[in-house]
Amino acid sequence: MKVHEGSYVNGAWQPVTTAESVAVVNPATEEVIAHVAAGSAQDVDAAVRAARAAFPDWAATPPARRAARIAALRDAVAARADEIAATVTAELGAPPKLAQAVHVGLPVAVAGSYAELLATYPFEEKVGNSTVLMEPVGVVGAITPWNYPLHQIVAKVVPALAAGCTVVLKPAENTPLTALLFAQAVHESGLPAGVFNMVTGLGPVAGQALVEHEGVDMVSFTGSTAVGRRVGALAGGAVKRVALELGGKSASVLLPGADVAAAVRGSLANALSNSGQRCSALTRVLVHRDRYEEAVAVAAEALAGYVPGERLGPLVSAAQRDRVVGYIEKGIAEGARLVTGGPTPPLARGFYVSPTLFADVTPEMTIAQEEIFGPVVVFLRYEDEEDALRIANGTDYGLAGAVWGEPEAATAFARRMEAGQIDVNGGRFNALAPFGGYKRSGIGRELGAHGLTEYLHTKSLQF
Ligand code: NAD
């Protein structure tokens, strides 16, 4: 099987300096479908040098011209929509409808939003006797996870380019084929050579080399909290700017005024989308003790509709499947009530896990505290609103949340939750609203105007 070149540097595909490669596995069939080159520190160095060389001209390019290039990039990605969706299905296992609508649709919309934002974004403002200039931070090292292979790339690369930064991307090793298509789209969009560069490969090798490289001014990382800590410590040691989008354990709180059926179905749809491989998944459902059994019954019925191999895709890898099954076994061992699902594989082939519901879960249980990253939802019982708030805020994470109930009470509750984005009564995802975490869920924000400012310095001129 041919090894795909994974190093796109200075506007051209380059062979990497190692003979190493990463195997890409289709998680629905367990078959190896491709090999992609694994770059070394030397390859990362070449990419960073190209990004540094391209920085002055790109930073000086007027925003309207940067917007035109970003619009062209959006169009080049959209033109490859079918190919990208099929690739996301092949390497991540996303069901085809989800792949089209979310894995391709969302990044196309996000890229378009930055082309539009550049038309009006004020890169200068007056503050008393000062003029404040917003200037690009420099060379950005972007490191992305596999769960939304294209969205995670676009949510970093496009605002960085919009700000006037140049970029070196190290995409996730499980889903490099989507990243190769993105680089191809960059090539077709006519972005000047060296403005976007990419090196595929392993996190501890190519990823770490990128974080440590002296020519990188900022690291933008999305992934696990464990790796994020390390990346943050390295960047902090070098006094580099860092943005971290990490894990979550988000709560969906059904206040006494909630429509229980709608709230449970809405929470499950959120928690099980992408096979539960979502950092912002609403995996803890909190219900008042008077409505608890009713909510669990609705959930059990709704979960029957998430048929593995149809509506529910596999997990990305055998390792992730094993990790999730381990959490299910731990939930049983710690005394939670297994309502549906469980550790037994639902299909003979593929890294599938049954949609799993635990009831009688208490806040200190492992399955109520740690991120599982699979189709597993836990239901907790609360006594009153203060108890619900304590449980909702009682984890190390603070990425997202949801509240359901009478609108005023639900909004007041949402204001007291420690999380970066909270959906009130099923409020829809907004690709222009800032996305990011409180507490151990991260530092910084992505998307919209807030996502752009991450990549900007301020400079004040006094008159
Ligand atoms: P991961 O931390 O294992 O890997 C993420 C990226 O970091 C990959 O590209 C990997 O190659 C790289 N990496 C690994 N070790 C590295 C090192 N030592 N130095 C530099 N880079 C390194 O995470 P994952 O398994 O790919 O993704 C799942 C995690 O991502 C989950 O915890 C999830 O919550 C989190 N996530 C967060 C968000 C968010 O926006 N907050 C979004 C999606 C996923």
Q: What is the rounded distance in angstroms from the CA atom of residue 344 to the CA atom of residue 167? A: 43
Q: What is the rounded distance in angstroms from the CA atom of residue 184 to the CA atom of residue 8? A: 9
Model confidence at 311: pLDDT above 90:
yes
Of all helices (H) and strands (E), which one includes residue 412? helix 407-416
Average pLDDT for 1-24: 88
For the chain, the distance separating the N- and C-terminal CA atoms, rounded to the nearest angstrom, is 64
Q: Which atom of ligand 1 is nearest to the CA of 320?
A: 25
Ligand 1 centre and the CA of 134: distance in Å? 29
| CA proximity to 183, closest of 204, 165, 199 | 199
CATH homologous superfamily, domain 251-430: Aldehyde Dehydrogenase; Chain A, domain 2 (3.40.309.10)
Per CATH, domain 2-246+441-462 is 3.30.1490.100: no
**Domain coordinates of the chain in residue numbers?**
2-246+441-462, 251-430
Q: What is the rounded distance in angstroms from the CA atom of residue 200 to the CA atom of residue 20? A: 11
Q: What is the rounded distance in angstroms from the CA atom of residue 367 to the CA atom of residue 377? A: 9
Ligand 1 centre and the CA of 427: distance in Å? 27
The pLDDT tens digits of the residues spanning 191-208 come to 999 999 999 999 999 999
Ligand 1 centre and the CA of 319: distance in Å? 14
Sorting pLDDT into bands at 50, 70 and 90, what band is 344? Answer: very high
Sorting pLDDT into bands at 50, 70 and 90, what band is 19? Answer: confident
Q: What is the pLDDT of residue 18?
A: 83
Average pLDDT score, the chain? 97
Sorting pLDDT into bands at 50, 70 and 90, what band is 313? Answer: very high
Average pLDDT for 229-247: 96
Ligand 1 centre and the CA of 177: distance in Å? 17
Q: What is the pLDDT of residue 73?
A: 98
- Whether 245 is a known active-site residue: answer yes
Q: Which atom of ligand 1 is nearest to the CA of 171?
A: 9
Ligand 1: residue of 246, 395, 438, 443 to mutate (most ligand atoms within 8 A of CB) is 246
Pocket of ligand 1 (CB under 6 A): 143-147, 170, 172-173, 203-204, 207-208, 211, 222-224, 227, 230-231, 245-248, 279, 371, 373, 399, 437, 442
Ligand 1 centre and the CA of 224: distance in Å? 4
Catalytic residue (one of 245, 371, 446, 454): 245
Q: What is the pLDDT of residue 369?
A: 98
Q: What is the pLDDT of residue 4?
A: 80
Of all protein residues, the one whose alpha carbon is nearest to atom 16 of ligand 1 is: 203
Ligand 1: residue of 24, 210, 222, 395 to mutate (most ligand atoms within 8 A of CB) is 222
- Whether 301 is a known active-site residue: answer no
Fold match, 2-246+441-462 / 251-430: no
Sorting pLDDT into bands at 50, 70 and 90, what band is 15? Answer: confident
The pLDDT tens digits of the residues spanning 205-231 come to 999 999 999 999 999 999 999 999 999
Sorting pLDDT into bands at 50, 70 and 90, what band is 30? Answer: very high
Of all protein residues, the one whose alpha carbon is nearest to atom 19 of ligand 1 is: 208
Average pLDDT for 338-365: 98
| CA proximity to 292, closest of 251, 249, 253 | 253
Q: Is the pTM of this model over 0.85?
A: yes
Q: What is the rounded distance in angstroms from the CA atom of residue 249 to the CA atom of residue 316? A: 19
Sorting pLDDT into bands at 50, 70 and 90, what band is 2? Answer: confident
Catalytic residue (one of 91, 212, 279, 454): 279
Q: What percent of the chain has pLDDT over 70?
A: 100
